[in-house]
Structure 1
Amino acid sequence: MKKLVISLLGFAIIFSSGAMTAFANEQPSFQGEVKQLVGTPYKWGGSTPQGFDCSGFVLYIFRNFDLNLPRTSEGQAKVGEHVDKDDLRVGDLVFFNTSGKGISHAGVYIGDGQFVHASSSKGVRISKLTESYYQTRYVTARRVLDQESYAKLVGVAS
């Protein structure tokens, strides 16, 4: 029940303002950082704002949470706890099979059915899980943030 209340609170905070301003008090803010990184070019092996690949982008986003995540999307899909698609909350990792050979793409769920990721064709962008390309390639999701880190991410005192 506590997880549900915290998840709902985080969701309400994110979408109550309409714009990506719900995290104005958190430095650096998750939503602000996402907004700044959208449009960053794709770079194979990249993990900096000069260019990202998908797993490098995930590593960069979570650098403030002292998480020891694997470098590849396949490895990242093995950490944390499994989350059903219907139970996703902001900060959960989402994984896709874009190569036909298993998990090959990762992103970060940002709420409202959307995730942010480094697309090999368009760089860092926000996409919907319901887009046919991603919907048919979705594999799993993982929760890697504990409650304290989640509260920090969404700007709520733990």
Structure 2
Amino acid sequence: MNKSYRIMFTASLLLIIFFESNVSASPTIAQKINILNTKNISQPSTKKTIDTHKMIAFAKKYKGTPYAWGGMTSKGFDCSGFIQYIYKNFNISIPRTTASYTQLFDNSVPLKNAKVGDLIVFTGTNLKIRKPGHAGIITEIKPGLLKFIHSSSSKKHFGVTETSYYQSGYPKRFLTVIRMPNPSKKEY
């Protein structure tokens, strides 16, 4: 007999004996019945995981897509529109603008703990304003190498491109890395 059915049968039998004997149960018996009903009954897992390799491969399909301020489609993306588009295809909800990424700062991790698929957040071009202004998705991490994909408005790397973090001006603009958890139903 299945273990959960045995537990349920035993608990039911104890309840029948209790009610048939017309005796009030002491707290210890009631506690034991509750333990029998709940112990070793596995709950289905609601945790979903993301295949980051598939997500990065999907993101790289858009390399070369032009930058479009406010863009959220494959015809043109701004940085946050691109990120939202990619994450949305993997059931991850994220705020629409980089300025709103401060809502996600509770999920921040140190740069040294970054993983592929994490969100990397930078200031805008004005380094004195230490607020989110640009972001990308980390695509590769090796010792001394961190790459991220993003939609850039710069003349040098216009549109969706992959950038090597340490060989760019981005370290000066770095704010945080945000660990994007499992798919979420929260809407931003």
Aligned to 1:94: 120
Give the SS at the match of 1:55: helix
Give TM-score, length-normalised by structure 1: 0.70
Q: CA RMSD in A?
A: 2.1
1:57-136 aligned at under 5 Å gives the runs 57-79=82-104, 81-100=107-126, 101=129, 102-112=131-141, 113-121=146-154, 122-136=158-172
Deviation >6 Å, runs of 4+: none
| Cα separation, 2, equivalents of 1:33 and 1:72 | 21
Gaps of 5+ in 2: 1-51, 184-188
8 Å contact 2:60–2:149 — kept in the other structure?
no
Q: 1:38 aligns with which of 34, 53, 63?
A: 63
Give TM-score, length-normalised by structure 2: 0.60
Tell which structure's C-alpha radius of gyration is larger. Answer: 2
8 Å contact 2:55–2:117 — kept in the other structure?
no
| Cα separation, 2, equivalents of 1:144 and 1:116 | 15
What is the percent sequence identity of the aligned residues? 36
Gaps of 5+ in 1: 1-13, 15-22, 24-28, 150-158
Q: Using a 3 Å threshold, how does the CA distance of structure 1 residues 111 and 33 change in structure 2: closer, same or farther?
A: same
| Cα separation, 1, equivalents of 2:162 and 2:65 | 12
| Cα separation, 2, equivalents of 1:77 and 1:39 | 28
